Structure 1
């Protein structure tokens, strides 16, 4: 699910994080930044009919759903994800508090 963030603050955090990661010689993401929430993962690609059904379901749930509500982001969590047969395992590596 995409996130609309007109102020560009998430983009600035992303760029600052990438600068620091590069400085520490970590490999960084090469794809363009796209703020989003992952709602679900599927193990195998959906066939076209299932994709259309899922899209219709999501659109029906979004109708009439709009918000101008702002959410305060107080920290950044650096997570490690490991995929296994039982699903993804997530481990918090570091929490960085933002200054107000």
Structure 2
């Protein structure tokens, strides 16, 4: 997983946990597998602290825009539609090539 995000938790242990999670998340195919891994990694009993940290990570991740989304925001509606069609077509071709 390309991790450009460094969530500033102001807590070294939480930051290290975040780094481990982002390094390992791609190795799981399903959420349940990741969830079980997560439960094994969590060492705090402070659920409020954990929930606040998870919500902070979620908030930052949801606010962050992918470069393609930033591009879409900057172009006019005709270019926007052309780019979206190009992306869908390109992804479809690559997925078919991978499946072959």
TM-score over 0.5 (shorter chain): no
State the TM-score, normalized to the length of structure 2.
0.31
Between structures 1 and 2, the one with greater helix share: 2
Between structures 1 and 2, the one with greater strand share: 1
State the TM-score, normalized to the length of structure 1.
0.31
Structure label with greater radius of gyration: 2
